[in-house]
A and B are shown apart, each in its own frame.
Chain A
Amino acid sequence: MIELASVSKVYVNLFRTRRVQALADFSVNIARGEVFGIAGPNGAGKSTMLSIILGYLHPSSGRATIDGQAPRHFIERHGVAYLTELVAIPPRWTTESALRRYAALSNLPSRHARARVESAITSLGLEEHRKKQVRQLSKGNLQRLGLAQALLADSDLIIFDEPTHGLDPVWTQRFRDIVSELRQPTRTIIIASHNLDELERLTDRVAILSQGRLQRVVASGGTNARGGAYRLTLAEPVPALLEFFPEALPVDGRSQEFHVEGSIVDLNQRLAGLLASGAVVTSFYPEQSRLETEFRAAVGENG
């Protein structure tokens, strides 16, 4: 659905004395039905990439298309759902009027528009804020309003830029549920986020950007299937541990918490043996997700 082919973007000032390379030779294809993540440190080029996909910026070189059309061409015909990183809605509009306006702009017939606005208000928990002006909303409520306006129309392309920024844990979980509900074979969802855990849970693939370059695209489904480093915690120390996990290293000198490594199948077999020996395991979890490992490898520890 979305194709970026060798896209570069260079920002230059008026006198062309200063150049900032925001994106360099960036190529990626995002298919219909896919939930695609974009990760990267600040200034990596995530927002520039989204602006190019939305047609708000022209690439300095290369080509961006949506369904084979120029982005503005596609958007002006079909519209897209978009949650901006910094939700910008005129501060004097009320929550309800903002949604009604966006429904009108989305060209929804008035009967449907009213129902969609009510549905968005209800599903994003904005009932008690419907008459409040945007400037009176808290950061979390403003973010929910941003989500509500994005979900007014049934778009085939949905773009979320830092969607859980400012949301509390309850609404962060609700957002994850919403993304699951939005998944459709005909729909493409793009999520740009600093939150690797969120990307790992929600997306099929994640593009890792650093300094304007695509470092790698990681399949995030089936995370940790290949194993890696894990943290094993026992209820009490047992001598059998070293029999099954000879490489186990105590974490910070603790006698019940260990760092272990291996493939997921191997680790399962050894864990079964340890449990059969009578050990009581209180937790066993990955020390770093695969995405996190890939991210660190791609952008370095400072990312």
Chain B
Amino acid sequence: MSRFPLRYLPWMLRDLLLSQGLVLLTIGVLGALILSRITPAPLPSDAAPMVLGAVRQMSWPFILFCVASIVSADRLQGYYRTTFVRPVNPSAYYLSRFLLGGLMVGLLAPVMTAAMAIAVGPIPLSWSMIARLEMLYLLLGGAVFLASTLTRADWLFAILVFIVQSVLHGLSQNHVVLPAFWNFIAMILPPFHLTSLDQPMPPGPQLAHVLLYGLGFVLAALAVLRWRPLGSGGRS
């Protein structure tokens, strides 16, 4: 018997396409409509910066939409009780769901590129943008995934961590001397500043920092799922 939900993957993908996928399609169609029908000014011939701007605006909310409450909703609603009496490992199940969420996030760049292309003509798809989106997904989505195994307020937790990290990073960039405690916090918080879509792919060590941090979140989430029972009470 398989513990990996292979036969269930098409259902997971279907659910994602019918919720996150439809939202993504709607955004793309609306974007194309606005650009081609409503915007009065002539559009620039090089639309790549517009694509980047749109993807950057959408990236955070869409990642949160794809991964928020990934575990906590099942626990809260009690759906896990019927799901995990099957020969399925919860870690494998939620890892599959997390990876498919990453696939959806990767579609953000092609959809926005296609929307712009409808308005201004052919635009080459930026594979580098997709790679940076996936890097952001691994870090931000991984943080939400881990938080979701522990609390219902997973997305809020991720946003709070992001705000604290951004403030501390901004201060250190401006040469503000932080107390040792806050220096330590700045050092251990996830490196969100390295995932900006505006910047080129970070160099090797920084890239490794982001990837290992994101991977650490995902592995920690899987470890929590492995060791922490899904129930919190007799009926819940």
Contacts and interface: CB of A to CB of B under 8 A. Distances in A.
Contacts of A57: 229, 231, 233-234
B1 A107 contact: yes
A258 to B, nearest CB: 44
B77 interface: yes
Contacts of A156: none
B11 interface: yes
A22 B3 contact: no
Interface string A101-129: 11011111010010000000000000000
Given A78-B1, A101-B8, A101-B11, A48 B233 contact: yes
Contacts of B1: 77-79, 107
B77 A88 contact: yes
A22 B234 CA distance: 8
Contacts of A88: 77-79, 81-82
Secondary structure of the A side of the interface? Answer: mixed
A56 B11 contact: no
How big is chain B's contact interface, by range? 20 to 34
A138 B10 CA distance: 29
B216 interface: no
A146 B87 CA distance: 18
A257 B81 CA distance: 49
Interface in B1-47: 1-3, 5-8, 10-11
Interface in A51-77: 51, 54-58, 75-77
A84 to B, nearest CB: 5
Contacts of B79: 88-90
Contacts of B84: 56, 75
B8 A84 contact: no
A27 B226 CA distance: 26
Nearest to B235: A47
Contacts, number: 96
Which one of B11, B85, B231, B233 has the greatest number of beta carbons of chain A within 10 Å?
Answer: B85
B96 to A, nearest CB: 11
A81 interface: yes
B175 interface: no
A102 B82 contact: yes
Contacts of A84: 78, 81-82
A70 B207 CA distance: 40
B78 to A, nearest CB: 4
A105 B5 contact: yes
A54 B7 CA distance: 23
Given A58-B229, A79-B1, A88-B77, A149 B82 contact: yes
Given A55-B229, A56-B229, A78-B1, A102 B86 contact: yes
A274 interface: no
B83 interface: yes
Interface in A122-150: 146, 149
Nearest to A20: B233
A191 B114 CA distance: 57
B231 A56 contact: yes
A267 to B, nearest CB: 42
B235 A76 contact: no
Contacts of A46: 234
A107 B82 contact: no
B166 interface: no
B234 to A, nearest CB: 3
A48 B235 CA distance: 7
Given A76-B3, A104-B11, A51 B234 contact: yes
B230 interface: yes
A51 B235 CA distance: 8
B234 A105 contact: no
A86 interface: yes
Contacts of B87: 75-79, 106-107
Interface of B: 1-3, 5-8, 10-11, 77-89, 229-231, 233-235
24 contacts: A22-B234, A45-B234, A47-B233, A47-B235, A48-B233, A50-B234, A51-B231, A57-B233, A75-B84, A75-B87, A76-B3, A76-B89, A80-B85, A82-B81, A84-B81, A85-B235, A88-B81, A88-B82, A89-B79, A101-B8, A106-B86, A113-B7, A149-B82, A153-B86
Interface of A: 11, 22, 45-51, 54-58, 75-82, 84-90, 100-102, 104-108, 110, 113, 146, 149, 153
Given A48-B233, A146-B82, 11 more contacts: A56-B84, A57-B234, A75-B85, A79-B85, A80-B85, A86-B78, A88-B82, A89-B82, A102-B82, A105-B83, A107-B2
